[in-house]
Amino acid sequence: MNRHDYFKSIALGACALLFTAAFGTSCEQPPILCEVASGAYAVKYFPKDAGSDCLMLPGERVGMSVYNPPKGDDREIDALRATVAIQASSMGVLADTAKATASATDPDPNHKQYSFGNYTARPDANDFCAASDLSVAEQHIPETAYTDADGNPAIYPETRLAYEWRDVRVHMAFATPGNAATGEVTITRESEDPVTGDRETCTTTYVASALFPAVGCEAVDAMGQATGMPDDARCCAKADPDQGRPFGSGIHPDFKVKCDPALLLCVLDWKPGESFPPFGNNSFCGNDG
Amino acid sequence: MRLTSRATRCFLIGATCFGLLVAPPAFAAGDSVLTGTVIDASTQKPIANVVVTVTSPALQGEQIVVTDAAGNYRVPQLPPGEYTIRLDGAEYKSFARGGITLRTGSTLRANLQLMPDELREEIVLLARPPVVDIGSTTTGLIVDSNLSHRLAVAPPGGRASAVRSFESLGALVPGAQPTPIGFSINGSSAPENRFQIDGVSVGNAADGINDTPLSLEFVREVNIATGGYMPEYGRTTGGVFDVVTKSGGNEFHGSIFGSYTPGAFEGQRKPVRAEGTVVAVDQKLRAIRDFGFEIGGPIKKDRLWFYAGLNVALQDLDIVRSLNRLRYETNPDGSLKLDAAGNPISLRDEYGFQLTSPIEGGTRRYVAAKETLQYIGKLTWLINPSHSLTLSVFGSPTWSGGDGRISLNGVTGTTTTINTNLLEGEYAAFGRQEEQMLNTVSLKLSSSFLEKRLLLDATVGYHYAYSNRLPVDGVGIGSGQGLDTVPGISWTRGSPHTIADFENLPAGSGCEPKGATSVIYCPVRAYLTGGPGNVNETITNRFQGRAVVTYLASALGQHVIKAGIDVEVSNSLFARANTGNVWFSETYDGSAWQVWRIGNLTNPDDVYVPKLQSPTTHSTIVGGFVQDSFTFLDRVTVNAGLRYDAQMMSSSEGVGMVLPNQWSPRVGAIYDPTGQGRSKIFASYARYYENVPLGLAEGLFVQRPFTVSNVSKSVCDPSDPTKVEACLDPKNRLTIGAPYSPNRQWGFYYGDRAPVDPEIEAQSMDEISGGGEYQVFDDARVGVNYTHRSIHRVIENMSRDEGTSFLVGNPGYGAASDFPEARRDYDAVTLFFQKSFSGGWLALASYTASYLRGNYPGLAEGSYPSPHTLSDFDLLSLLPNRTGPLPGDRRHSVKVYGAKEFALPKNIRINVGMSYTGTSGAPLDVLGAHPYYGRGAAFILPRGSGGNLPWVHSVDSNLAVGYKITKDSTLSVSVDVFNLFNFQAETSRDQSFTYANVRPIEGGTLSDLPDKGESACATGAGCRYKLVNFEDGSPFDPANRNPNYGSPTSYQSPRTIRMGVRLTF
C-alpha cells in the first residue's frame, strides 16, 4: 500500500474529527471529475455567420475520448491530468473510404484524424469542463491511381479535410455527467468537382451543440417502414410501451431535445445565443419529460 | 485523497470549535456490571459501608467496593464468568453468595441481605441468583461457547464450517435466518451486521461480511444483539456479534481437540435436474477435519495471564469431471431429424433440459481443498486494582488450490462453488491458488478512578485482510516468473470448437474430430488454455480507536452516564493483472484474436499497461455518543442517548462522498416489577445508521479500464510463445473503432464513475421494540418481545436515462425523486424460554412470527454481497412490481434446543443434546427477461406472487461421552449428527417464468399468466392472459414458457456426521 496515501488518510481523519466538532454542519460532496461520453455525440452545426455556409453540413456524429497518464508509482491512473481528443465522423469516413477504394492514405504522419488538446480535471463554477490547446485534425489524401472493382484504371482525386475545434466545453454536473457539449469548429474541405474537375475549397465556421447518446428518431409507419420524417417522441427519456416506445431513448430527461429533420438524430433543442445546455420539459413527451 | 478547498474549508470551520467528540463505544472484554442493594435481613433497611468483595476465576485479583448511604454497590468492568460475592459489614455476619453467572455486556442486579450478629431467630435468606439483565432493552442472545459441547452447532458445509466459526451460533438466536453469506438478523441482510472480537471490528471493509471466522474453541462468549441496543453500538442496521475470547486464569487450563466429518457418512443427496453439458461436474464431500489446542494460565498469579491457541482446519471435496456427448432427435432409420431451417433438433427432457450420453473413459478426478490455520495469543495484565490492560492478537490465514487441486471460494467456503463452466479448460488455465491472510491486533485499557465512580475504557485495534487469486504455481502478480508470464486464451468463436481440438478423447467418443468446424455433438464455447489470465490481490486495512468514559452520579436515583468517541480509518487496494500482461479471446467469426490488456489509453490509440492496476479506496468514520442510564425506585430504568456519526469515503482517482449528520437517538425504559432483577418489562426506540462498505467506492468511484484490439489469426497465434510478439505488434492491429472514434485500433471498457447527489443522506433504519421477561425458576426465564424495523433512507446507484449515466443517491429523494422510495418493513413477535445449564440440563426454545416486505432487500443480491449496487433501482423500466414480501421473509420460525447430562458411575458423564429447527419457506417471485439486464431481471408479477417454498425442518443431535480422568481433566468423545433424518426439502426453485423479454403486469396475479400448454392468442383483444412481449406488446406465446419453471434448483444439505475428541485440562 502507498505510504503517502496512508498518511493522507490519517490526516483526513484528523480533519474529520475537528469537522465533527462543529455540530455536524453539512459539508458539500467533493467535486466530480471531468469526463466525456464513451460513444458518439449527435452534433448539430449552426453556421456562425448566417449566409456564409458553403459546406451545408447539418451536423454529424462526433466522438470524444479522454486520456489520463499513470501516476508516479504507475499502478494507478492520475485522474487529475487529462487530455482529450475529438474526432468527427466525416474524417474517419474519408480515411476509411480512401483506404478501402484506392489504398490511399495521408502520407504525413503529423496529420491526425482527431483534434487533441488538454482537458480540465474538474468542472468550473458553471459546471463546464473546457478543452484547450486543441490541435487541428486533418487528412490530406493525395491523388492516387488504382484499379476499380471492374478492373478499370481509376484515379482517386486529391482530397483534404480539416477540422479546427475551439472553445469546446462539456457540461459536467452530477445529474448529467458529460452528456452535452458545445463548441465552435472551422471545417475546410478541398476536393475536386466531379463534373468539371476544378479544385474547390470551402471553409465554414459552425457553432455546434452535442448530445449523447446519438439516438435515431426517424418516424416509422404502421408497417414498420421508415418514412424519412422526424419523430420527436422517439427522443423522450421515459419509456411508454403503449405509445410504441418500450424503451426510453437513453437521453437524460432534464434536457430539452427535438428530432432534427436533416440528421434524423435527436439533438438538443438549442440555438446559439441561448443558455446552454437547454434544460426543461419536452411537451411532446407528456408530463414525464 | 483530494478534497477541494470547499471541503477543506468545512473542516477548518469545524476545527475552530471545541471538540467533545462522541463516538460509539467499542465493546470490550470487561464490560459487565454487578450491582445491587444490601439490606438488613431483620429490618429490611439498606446498610451503608458494607464491604463488597467480588471474585472469579475469570477475574485477576479481586474487586472491592463499599455500599453507599442507600446501601447500593456497583462493580463495573468485569469480564464474563462465574462470580462469588462476599459481604462483610460491621455487626453483621459475613455472607458469601457464589454461582452468579455474569454474561458479557450485561448488568446483573443482586440484592443481598445480611443477618445482624446478635439475631437469634432463623431467617431464611431469599437470594436466588438473578438471570434477567435489568439494565438494557437489548434483544438477542448471549451464548457461552461451551454450548457447542452439548448441542450440535456449526453444521459442516455452512459458512467457514471447517473451523467451526463463532458465527454459527447465530442459528440459535430468535430472529436470525441463515444465508450463504451470514445470518440475516430481524429482516436485515447479512452484510449489515457488525462483528467485533475483543472490541475490534472484524467485518470485511469492502462488503461487510464477517472476515474472521474465529473458532469456537477460542471464544468465551458471543453476545448476539438483534435490536434495542444503546448508542454504544453504532454503524449497523443489522445485528451485532460481539465476541469475547477466552483468557488465562490463575491455574493452567486448556484443551486439545479434534474433529472429523467424513464424506462417506454424508446422507444421500437428492439430485437437481440441470441442463446436460459436454463438460459436467459432480462434487462430493471427502472430509472436513480440524485439530488444535488452546491453553491459558498465569505468568504471574493475579497479575499477568496469558492465553494461546492454534487450530488447523482442512476441507476437501472430491470433484469428478466427466465428458458427455449431446443427443439429438433421430429418425427411425438413425439419421438426424432436421427442423425447418435444416438444423438438428436437440433431444430434451420434459423440463427443457438437453440430454446427453456419457463418454466412457473421459473422466478426470480432482480434489478441491482448503486449509486454514487459526491462531490466537492474549495477555491480560492487571497493572493495579484500578487499571488493567489486555492485548490480543489473532488471525485466520487460509490457503486453497494449487498443486493440482481446485480452489474453494475463500470467504464463503461453502461446498457449492464449483460449476461446470469453471472446469472447461486446462488446469493451468482454470485453476487458481487462493490465499487469505486475516490478522487482528487489539489493545484495551480499562481504568477506574474515584472509587469506581469514574471509568475509562479505551481500545485501539488494527485489522488486516489480504486475499489473492494467483496462478496454480503460486507465483506472485507481476513477478515475471512461471505462469505469470503465460497469457490466458479463451476459445470463444461463435461456431463452437469440438472438445477434441483441445483434449485427447478416448476411442468411440462419438465427438467430432480435431479441426471440425460444424460441431454439434461435443461443442465447447469458451474453452480455456494457456495461463490463468486474470489474477488479483486485495489488501484492506482497518485502524480503529475508541474511548468511553463512564461516570456514576446520584440525583433522584442513580445515573450511569457514558460518553465516548470512536474513529475508524480504513483503506483497500485492489490489484489486478493478466498473466503475460495480455489475454486473448477468439472473435465471434473466428478469424481474429481479441487482444485484451489491463491498462488505459494515455493518448489516442496508445495503451499503457502497468504491471498491476491497483486503485485504492479510503473511508474515514468519526463518531461519538452520550447516554444516560437512570435508575430510580429500584425498579425503573430509563436509558436515553444520542449518537453522532460522519463518514467520508473517497478513491485514489479523486472522487468521493461525504455523509455527515448521522444523528442517532436511542430511548428505552425498563421496569422490573419484582424489584429484584427477576423480571422486566421494556420498550425502546432507536434509529440506526449504516456504515457504507468500501465496496461502493470500489464499484462506483474508480474506473478499472481495460482495452481490446483485434489482430488477424494469419499473423497471431497466442498458443505459440514465439508468436505472441506478433499479436502485440502495433502494425498488426486491425481497425475496429467507428469513424467518429479517435481510437481506431483500441476499444476500451471501464465501469463508469457515478457522481453523488449533493443532497444525499446516509442510509438509516428506525426500530421500535418492546417486551417482557420473567424468571420462572432457577436459571430459567420466559419472555415475549415485539420488534418493528423500517428502513428510512437508502443509498443506491440509479440511472434516469436507461443506463446512459448513473448517479449515487437516495431513491425517492433529491435528484432521484422520480424513483420510488426504498422500503423495507419488518414486524416480528417472539416467544422464548431459556434455561442455562444447571442441574444437569439446559433448554432454549423460541417461536418467531414475522413479516418482511418492501422493495429493498439490503446489501446483498441473492448469495452475493452487493453494497449499494443492487440492480433493483438501476433503471426506471426495471421498477414495476418490486414491492412485496422480500426474499428474507420467513413467516414462522421455530427453534428448540435441549441437552441433558447423565452422571454415570466411574466418573463417566453422558450428554445428550437435541435440536429442532423449522422454518417456513421463502417467498417466490415470477420473473422474466429484460432486454438490457437479461434473464430474471424483470418482475412479471409483484414480488412474492409465486407462492412460497415449503417448510424446512432439521433435527440435529449431539451425543458426548466424557470420562473424568482427574479433578481438572476430562476426556470426551462426541458425535454430532446434522439433519438426522436427512430431510431434503427444496431450498430454491427456478423462478424464471420465461427467458423471453416480456413486460411486467403491474399488480398482476398468477391468473394473468398463460397456463402450461395453453394455446397462443393471436391478438391482445379478448386474450385470457395478460402477458405480452416487451418490444411490441403482442401477446406472449405460451410455447416460450420456461419448461423448468417451478422446478427445484437446490435442496437442503444432506445428513452429515461430525465426530470429535477433546481432552480438557
Angle ∠(B124,B130,B133) on CA atoms, nearest 5: 155
How far apart, in whole angstroms, are the C-alpha atoms of residue B57 and residue B438? 31
Beta carbons of A92 and B738 less than 8 Å apart: yes
B646 versus B556: the higher-pLDDT residue is B646
Radius of gyration of chain A (CA): 23
CATH code for B32-114?
Answer: 2.60.40.1120
Domain made up of B141-245: CATH architecture: Beta Complex (2.170)
Name every chain B residue with its beta carbon within 8 A of the beta carbon of A77: 600, 615, 653, 703, 705
Residue B524 pLDDT level (bands cut at 50, 70, 90): very high
For residue B510, the SS3 value is coil
Which chain B residue shows the shortest CA-CA distance from A237?
Answer: B801
Name every chain A residue with its beta carbon within 8 A of the beta carbon of B739: 61, 87, 89-93, 95-96
Residue A10 pLDDT level (bands cut at 50, 70, 90): very low
User: What pLDDT was estimated at residue B20?
Assistant: 24
How far apart, in whole angstroms, are the C-alpha atoms of residue A236 and residue A249? 6
pLDDT at A2 over 50: no
> HEC states along B899-910?
EEEEEECCCEEE
B544 touches A at CB < 8 Å: no
User: What pLDDT was estimated at residue A13?
Assistant: 41
How far apart, in whole angstroms, are the C-alpha atoms of residue B662 and residue B566? 14
Are B844 and B834 within 8 A, CB to CB? yes
pLDDT at B544 over 60: yes
User: What pLDDT was estimated at residue B30?
Assistant: 77
Name every chain A residue with its beta carbon within 8 A of the beta carbon of B1033: 241-242, 246
Instruction: Taking residues B184-199, report their average pLDDT.
Output: 93
State how far residue A62 is from chain B, nearest Cα, in angstroms: 5
Percent of chain B with pLDDT over 90: 56
Beta carbons of A250 and B739 less than 8 Å apart: no
Across the interface, of A28, A88, A237, the residue whose CB is closest to B801 is A237
pLDDT at A289 over 90: no
User: What pLDDT was estimated at residue B875?
Assistant: 85
pLDDT at B13 over 80: no
Name every chain A residue with its beta carbon within 8 A of the beta carbon of B17: 18, 21-23
How far apart, in whole angstroms, are the C-alpha atoms of residue B1029 and residue B739? 35
Q: H helices then E strands: how many in chain A? A: 2, 15
Beta carbons of B738 and A26 less than 8 Å apart: no
Amino acid making up residue B741: S
Name every chain A residue with its beta carbon within 8 A of the beta carbon of B569: 9-10, 12-13
User: What pLDDT was estimated at residue B419?
Assistant: 56
Residue A191 bridge partners (DSSP): A200
User: What pLDDT was estimated at residue B166?
Assistant: 93
Beta carbons of A5 and B877 less than 8 Å apart: no
B654 touches A at CB < 8 Å: yes
pLDDT at A7 over 70: no
Percent of chain B with pLDDT over 70: 94
In tens, the pLDDT along B252-284 reads 999 999 999 999 999 988 888 888 889 988 888
Beta carbons of B10 and A27 less than 8 Å apart: yes
How far apart, in whole angstroms, are the C-alpha atoms of residue B452 and residue B175? 37
In tens, the pLDDT along B545-581 reads 999 999 988 888 888 899 999 999 999 999 999 998 8
Residue B421 carries which DSSP code? G
For B8, the enclosing helix (H) or strand (E) is helix B5-15
B736 touches A at CB < 8 Å: no
Task: Indicate the average pLDDT of chain B.
Answer: 88
In tens, the pLDDT along A174-232 reads 888 889 999 999 999 998 887 887 888 999 999 999 999 999 999 988 787 888 999 99
Length of chain B: 1065
User: What pLDDT was estimated at residue B22?
Assistant: 25
Helix B5-15 vs helix A3-21: crossing angle, to nearest 10: 50
Instruction: Taking residues B509-538, report their average pLDDT.
Output: 91
State the CB neighbour count (10 A cutoff) for residue B60: 25
Give the residue from B633, B639, B634 showing the smallest Cα distance to B683.
Answer: B639
State how far residue B468 is from chain A, nearest Cα, in angstroms: 15
User: What pLDDT was estimated at residue B230?
Assistant: 82
Residue B719 bridge partners (DSSP): none
B917 touches A at CB < 8 Å: no
pLDDT at B942 over 60: yes
Distances (CA, A) of B378 to A121, B198, B212, B245, B318: 50, 10, 16, 9, 38
B271 touches A at CB < 8 Å: no
Across the interface, of B14, B614, B755, the residue whose CB is closest to A20 is B14
Amino acid making up residue A155: I
In tens, the pLDDT along B575-625 reads 999 998 899 999 999 999 999 999 889 999 999 888 888 889 999 999 999
pLDDT at A16 over 90: no
User: What pLDDT was estimated at residue B669?
Assistant: 94
Residue A170 pLDDT level (bands cut at 50, 70, 90): very high
Range in B221-235, B355-369, B585-599, B844-858 the model is least confident about:
B221-235
Which chain B residue shows the shortest CA-CA distance from A91?
Answer: B739
pLDDT at B157 over 80: no
In tens, the pLDDT along B424-448 reads 899 999 888 999 999 999 999 999 9
Cβ within 8 Å of B, A 52-91: 60-65, 67-71, 74-77, 79-80, 83, 85-91
User: What pLDDT was estimated at residue B861?
Assistant: 75
In tens, the pLDDT along B410-427 reads 544 443 344 556 788 999
Residue B801 pLDDT level (bands cut at 50, 70, 90): confident
State how far residue B432 is from chain A, nearest Cα, in angstroms: 23
For A184, the enclosing helix (H) or strand (E) is strand A177-192
Beta carbons of A77 and B805 less than 8 Å apart: no
Amino acid making up residue B296: G
Which chain A residue shows the shortest CA-CA distance from B751?
Answer: A38
Name every chain A residue with its beta carbon within 8 A of the beta carbon of B703: 77, 79
Per-domain residue ranges of chain A: 28-214, 217-289
B478 touches A at CB < 8 Å: no
User: What pLDDT was estimated at residue B826?
Assistant: 97
Range in B28-32, B164-168, B825-829 the model is least confident about:
B28-32
Beta carbons of B661 and A26 less than 8 Å apart: yes
Q: Count of A–B CB contacts within 8 Å?
A: 291
Beta carbons of B622 and A1 less than 8 Å apart: no
Per-domain residue ranges of chain B: 32-114, 141-245
Cβ within 8 Å of B, A 130-169: none
Instruction: Taking residues B894-909, report their average pLDDT.
Output: 94
User: What pLDDT was estimated at residue B10?
Assistant: 37
A33 touches B at CB < 8 Å: yes
Beta carbons of A25 and B4 less than 8 Å apart: no
Report the DSSP pairing between strands B304-326 and B356-358.
antiparallel
Name every chain A residue with its beta carbon within 8 A of the beta carbon of B615: 76-77
Establish whether this prediction's ipTM goes over 0.90. no
User: What pLDDT was estimated at residue B109?
Assistant: 77
State how far residue B1001 is from chain A, nearest Cα, in angstroms: 12
Beta carbons of B571 and A88 less than 8 Å apart: no
pLDDT at B502 over 90: yes
State the CB neighbour count (10 A cutoff) for residue B41: 21
Cβ within 8 Å of A, B 548-567: 567
- To probe the interface with A, which of B538, B749, B801 has the most A CB atoms within 10 Å? B801
How far apart, in whole angstroms, are the C-alpha atoms of residue B820 and residue B808? 15
B586 versus A289: the higher-pLDDT residue is B586
- To probe the interface with A, which of B608, B740, B795, B932 has the most A CB atoms within 10 Å? B740
pLDDT at B128 over 60: no
Which chain B residue shows the shortest CA-CA distance from A100?
Answer: B735
In tens, the pLDDT along B64-123 reads 888 888 888 889 888 888 888 888 888 887 888 887 888 887 878 788 888 777 655 544
User: What pLDDT was estimated at residue B865?
Assistant: 81
Amino acid making up residue B582: V
Name every chain A residue with its beta carbon within 8 A of the beta carbon of B657: 29-30
A244 touches B at CB < 8 Å: yes
pLDDT at B48 over 70: yes
Range in B83-92, B152-161, B582-591, B919-928 the model is least confident about:
B152-161
* Beta strand spans in B105-198 (E): 107-109, 112-114, 139-144, 176-179, 182-185, 194-197
The contacts of residue B674 (CB under 8 Å, 6+ apart) are none
B150 versus B132: the higher-pLDDT residue is B150
Q: DSSP readout, B801-824?
A: STTSSEEEE-TTSGGGTTSPPP-E
Burial of residue B105 (CB within 10 Å: 0-12, 13-18, 19+) is buried
In tens, the pLDDT along B989-1027 reads 999 999 999 999 998 999 999 988 888 888 878 889 999
In tens, the pLDDT along A122-138 reads 999 999 999 999 999 99
Task: Indicate the average pLDDT of chain A.
Answer: 86
How far apart, in whole angstroms, are the C-alpha atoms of residue B1055 and residue B1043? 31
Give the residue from B365, B397, B416, B585 showing the smallest Cα distance to B493.
Answer: B585
Beta carbons of B20 and A21 less than 8 Å apart: yes
Residue B779 pLDDT level (bands cut at 50, 70, 90): confident
Radius of gyration of chain B (CA): 32
Cβ within 8 Å of B, A 173-232: 173-179, 212-213
Name every chain B residue with its beta carbon within 8 A of the beta carbon of A176: 805
Range in B4-18, B365-379, B779-793, B845-859 the model is least confident about:
B4-18
Site of grid cell 430509563: B638
A27 touches B at CB < 8 Å: yes
Name every chain A residue with its beta carbon within 8 A of the beta carbon of B650: 30
How far apart, in whole angstroms, are the C-alpha atoms of residue B1054 and residue B285? 11
User: What pLDDT was estimated at residue B410?
Assistant: 52
Cell output for B276 = 446436460
